[in-house]
Amino acid sequence: SSLQTSLSIWGWGSLGLVLFVVTFGPFAIFYFAFYILCFVIGGFVVTLLFGKSNSEKYLEQCEHSFLPCTSVGIPKCIEEMKHEARPIKIDRRLTGANIIDEPLQQVIQFSLRDYVQYWYYTLSDDESFLLEIRQALQYALVQFSARSKETDWQPYFTTRLVDDFGTHLRVFRKAQQRIAEKGDHMKDQAEELVDTFFEVEVEMEKEVCRDLVCTSPKDEEGFLRDLCEVLLYILLPPGDFQNKIMRYFVREILSRGILLPLINQLSDPDYINQYVIWMIRDSNCNYEAFMNIIKLSDNIGELEAVKDKASEELQYLRSLDTAGDDINTIKNQINSLLYVIKVCDSRIQRLQSGKEIDTVKLAANFGKLCTVPLDHILVDNVALQFFMDYMQQTGGQAHLFFWMTVEGYRVTAQQQLEVLQSRQKDGKHQTNQTKGLLRAAAFGVYEQYLSEKASPRVNIDDNLVAKLAETLNHEDPTPEIFDDIQRKVYELMLRDERFYPSFKQNVLYVRMLAELDMLKDPSFRGSDDGEG
């Protein structure tokens, strides 16, 4: 049956093929195949085009409904960078004074040229970065100038800075005294002096000790970084300060590139010596001040150097061949140099024999010491230095400084009024200007020592202070405007047991008598007894 079925299929197929060829011709098969191929290709192309268009429409719908907008930041930045930079006008005013602003602008320009432009131009030609740096620097300088104008510098420079410097010297001297009392039982004198210095500092200032900051480079750098952070918070714009990269970068430049090298240079003994020599090169040292320095010196090496220099000058003067009036001048110079050498020998002898340390024990053998009146102490440079050290130890330095300031004010006011009177005689009128200067000086003394915000404040009768304030507000200041309060302060220093009476029982008083050659032991007075 299967054989019959296959034969019928082949029969009918062959019959159909014969009829197709007879009807359409021998090439009809090729045409038919071509038509079928074209149909398939056409269907494929139509499907592709229709599917693509529908897919694009669908994606567009999905884009607007589900996906966020495409980012335009980078193309926008590229477009902005292609545009030519607009010129930016910079306000060149910094402090308000043209004589200061122009040099500061030059410093900024040279700093950018030497430290920024030489490497920045290898990366980019865009000027906006340099302009931003310049504007940030100018903003910091303007802030610094504004805050400086708001600060009252007079009390700081005349009181606080002087007190801090005096405290530092007192701590150093006390540390040296302890080292001298220990004698030769020290492992290392320099190291022992540093440790003793900070021990004394803790004793005197109670809760303050700066040993780590001064002795550890790591702690010193950390302190400077914290200091720079505070300065940047005050001076920089808020936006720049919030930029951590910029803040840390500037902080490191300030702390390690500016402050640390500056501190190291100012602490270099060679630099200090050269700076002191430069300062005194054009000024002649007063003879009295020079002799006081020699008499107060505790350094044997310095005394021997002065003695050697005086001996060289003495030999030179003796070698000169002079006659007439010049010989008298040279003899006077020779006598002065001989006296200097005697004072140096006497001082060296005292230091080497240990009498400088045992002054109090030596004075105990004299019985009653001679009394130097307070008014004499206040006008003698050597005695005043010892009394000033004592008043600072007892916390009464404000009274002494007030008395000295009023003395200076009185002299200055008298000179100004004398100049004013002479100019009025010559027909020149500057009355208001002179009175304005005197009023400003008087108000400065009042604010520094007598006002409620004065630190430290002179404790005196409130009625006198109120009367003085009323006088300053309603009358022109005179040289005698502080006389009543100065007299009260003098009486307070003279009679208060904390001040002059206790000073006469203190070791500093005995040392003052020794420096003034007022101790009666001939061996202590030295070989310069009777010399003038």
Tell me, yes or no, whether 106 lies in a domain.
no
Q: Does the residue 24 lie in any domain? A: yes
Q: Residue 530's pLDDT is what? A: 34
Do 302 and 352 belong to one domain? yes
- Token pair, residue 288, equals 């009295």
The answer to whether residue 322 is domain-embedded is yes
**101, part of any domain:** no
Using alpha carbons, list the distances in angstroms from residue 342 to 1, 165, 196, 353, 426: 159, 33, 34, 16, 54
Which of the pair, 242 or 185, is modelled with greater confidence?
A: 242
Together in a domain, 398 and 459 = yes
pLDDT at residue 229, as a whole number: 92
345 plus 384 within the same structural domain: no
Instruction: Please report the pLDDT score of residue 523 as a whole number.
Output: 39
Please check whether residues 389 and 307 belong to one and the same domain.
no
Is the separation of the CB atoms in 148 and 370 below 8 Å? no
Q: Which domain holds residue 320?
A: 287-356
Judgement on whether residues 508 and 445 belong to the same structural domain of the protein:
yes
Do 379 and 513 reside in the same domain of the chain?
yes
CA dihedral 11, 15, 17, 23 (to 10 degrees): 180
Mean residue pLDDT of the chain comes to 79
- pLDDT tens digits, 473-530: 888 778 888 888 889 999 999 988 888 988 888 888 888 887 777 765 443 333 333 3
Side-chain-side CA neighbours of residue 394 (13 Å)? 20
220 located within any domain: no
Phi-psi region of 461 (alpha: psi -120 to 50; beta: other; left: phi over 0): beta
In the numeric block, which tokens belong to residue 495? Answer: 């009679």
Angle between helices 161-182 and 381-394 (to 10 degrees): 90
Based on the fold, state whether residues 385 and 313 are members of the same structural domain. no
For the chain, state the CA radius of gyration.
47
CA–CA dist 401, 391 (Å, integer):
10
Q: Are residues 309 and 414 in the same domain?
A: no
Query: Considering the domain boundaries, does residue 108 fall inside one?
Result: no
User: How many other CB atoms are found less than 10 A from the CB of residue 330?
Assistant: 13
Of the pLDDT bands very low, low, confident and very high (cuts 50, 70, 90), residue 223 is: very high
- For residue 529, the model assigns a pLDDT of 37
Cβ proximity of 398 and 458 under 8 Å: yes
384 and 447 assigned to the same domain: yes
In a domain, 515, yes or no: yes
* 349 lies in the same domain as 458: no
Residues 328 and 444 in one domain: no
Number of domains in the chain: 3
pLDDT (tens digit per residue) in 327-375: 778 888 888 888 889 888 888 887 777 555 445 455 555 556 788 889 8
- Describe the crossing of helices 462-474 and 483-495 by its angle, rounded to 10 degrees: 160
Residues 87-134: tens digit of each pLDDT: 556 667 777 777 888 888 888 888 888 888 888 888 888 888 888 888
Contact 458, 402 (CB under 8 A): yes
Query: Reduced to 3 DSSP states, what percent helix, strand and coil does the chain have, rounded to the nearest 5?
Result: 75, 0, 25
Q: Domain of 391: which CATH number?
A: 1.10.167.10
- Distance between CA 164 and CA 166 in Å, rounded? 5
Which tokens is 185 given? 């039982």
Residue 141 belongs to a domain: no
Residues 404 and 479 in one domain: yes
Question: What percent of the chain is predicted at pLDDT more than 70?
Answer: 83
Which tokens belong to 437? 């200067």
b (16+ CB within 10 A) / e for 73-102: eeeeeeeeeeeeeeeeeeeeebbeeeeebe
